[in-house]
Structure 1
Amino acid sequence: MHGVRVLIAPDSFGSSLTADEAARAIAGAWRSTAPQDEVTECPLSDGGPGFVAVLHASLGGELVAVTVTSPVGVPVPAVFLRVGTTAYVESAQAIGLPLVPAELRDPTRTSSRGAGELVAAALDSGARRIVVGLGGSATNDGGAGALVGLARALGLDGPGDLLDSGGGSLGSVTPHDLAGLRDLRDRLREVELVVATDVDVPLLGLHGASAGFAPQKGATPEQAQDLERALGHFAHAATAALGDAVRPDLLAGARTTSATSRLTAGPGAGAAGGLGFGLALLGARLVPGSVFVADAVGLDALIADHDVVVTGEGRFDWQSLHGKVASEVASRALAHAVPTVVVAGEVLVGRRELSAAGITAAYAVGESPEQVAAALAAPAESLAARAARVARTWSR
Structure 2
Amino acid sequence: MGHCHGTSRRRSVMRVLLACSPLPGLTGTEVAELARTGWLAQRPADRITAYPVSDGVSVPFVGSGLPEALLKEPTEYPLGRADSRRFAFRAGDTVVLDYSQFLNDAPATGALQSSMAVGEDLAWACANGAKRIVVALPAPGYCTDMGLGMLASLADVRLSSGWTATDPVPFALAPALERAAEVLSDVDLVVLASGEQRLLGFSGVARTWAYRGMDPERAQEFSRAMGAVAQDVSEAAAARANTRPLLPLHGEQKTDRPERGPFSGAASGVGFILDSLGGRLMSVGCATVSERLREEARLTDLFVYACAAIDESIPSGLQAAIELASAAAIPIVVIYDSGSLRRGELPRMGLDGAYQLRPEEAWRGVGRQREYAESGDDVAVTGTRAKLPGDELQERLWSVTGRVARTWGWDA
Calculate the TM-score normalised by the size of structure 1: 0.77
Match of 1:117 in 2: 120
Query: Is 1:87 equivalent to 2:87 in the alignment?
Result: no
Map 1:25-44 to 2 at 5 A.
Answer: 25-44=34-53
Q: Which amino acid aligns with 1:68?
A: G
* 8 Å CA contact 1:110, 1:138 repeated in 2: no
* Residue number in structure 1 paired with 2:77: 65
Cα distance in 2 between the residues matched to 1:352 and 1:229: 40
TM value normalised by structure 2: 0.74
Partner of 1:143: 147
> Per the alignment, do residues 34 and 247 of structure 1 end up closer, same or farther by CA in structure 2, a change over 3 Å counting?
farther
Alpha-carbon contact 2:305-2:318 (below 8 Å) kept: yes
Q: 1:293 aligns with which of 288, 291, 294?
A: 288
Q: What are the equivalent positions in structure 2 for 1:113-192 lying under 5 Å apart?
A: 113-135=116-138, 139-141=142-144, 142-151=146-155, 156=156, 158=157, 160-161=159-160, 164-165=161-162, 169-176=164-171, 178=173, 180-192=176-188
* Structure ranking higher in helix proportion: 1
- Structure 1 stretches of 5 or more lacking a match? none
SS at match of 1:312: strand
Q: Distance in 2 between matches of 1:210 and 1:29?
A: 44
**SS in structure 2 opposite 1:346?**
coil
Q: Is 2:350 the counterpart of 1:358?
A: yes
2:389 maps to which of 378, 386, 389:
378
Query: In 2, distance between residues paired with 1:41 and 1:214?
Result: 40
Contact 2:263/2:281 (8 A) holds in 1: yes
Say whether residues 1:236 and 2:231 are aligned partners.
yes
Contact 2:152 2:176 in 1 (8 A): no
* Aligned-partner Cα distance in 2 for 1:351–1:227: 39
Larger CA Rg, structure 1 vs 2:
2
CA–CA separation in structure 2 for the residues paired with 1:354 and 1:149: 45
User: What is the rounded CA distance, in whole Å, between the counterparts of 1:232 and 1:2 in structure 2?
Assistant: 58
Alpha-carbon separation, structure 2, partners of 1:319 and 1:150:
34
Selected match of 1:315 from 301, 304, 309: 309
Is the counterpart of residue 262 in structure 1 residue 257 in structure 2? yes
What CA distance in whole angstroms lies between the structure 2 residues aligned with 1:52 and 1:19? 10
Distance 1:203 1:349, change over 3 A: farther
Deviations 1:189-226 (A, max 9, x none): 4433221222232112343333336766x745555444
The 1:243/1:53 distance shift into structure 2, 3 A limit, reads same
The change in CA–CA distance for 1:75 and 1:191 in structure 2 (over 3 A counts) is same
* Residue 23 (structure 1) aligned to one of 11, 16, 32: 32
Report Cα offsets for 1:14-44 as digits up to 9, x if no partner: x654322332343343333444433321111
SS at the partner of 2:285? helix
The Cα of 1:276 is off from its aligned counterpart by 0.8
Contact 2:139 2:197 in 1 (8 A): no
Give the length in aligned residue pairs.
366
**Does structure 1 retain, via aligned residues, the 8 Å contact 2:325–2:332?**
yes
Contact 1:140-1:214 within 8 A present in 2 as well: no
Pick from 318, 322, 328: which aligns with 1:326?
318
- Call closer, same or farther: CA 1:224–1:312 in 2, change over 3 Å: farther
The percentage of counterpart residues that share the same residue type is 28
Structure 1 SS opposite 2:307: coil
Post-superposition shift, 1:326? 0.7
Paired residue type of 1:307 = D
* Structure 2: 5+ residue stretches without partners: 1-10, 58-63, 370-387
SS of the equivalent of 1:114 reads: helix
Query: Does the Cα contact within 8 Å between 1:91 and 1:118 map onto a contact in 2?
Result: no
Helix, strand or coil at the partner of 2:314: helix
2:278 aligned residue: 283
**How far did residue 236 of structure 1 move?**
2.9
Distance in 1 between residues matched to 2:270 and 2:288, nearest whole Å: 19
Tell me the C-alpha RMSD between the 2 structures. 3.7
Corresponding residue number in structure 2 for 1:392 = 406
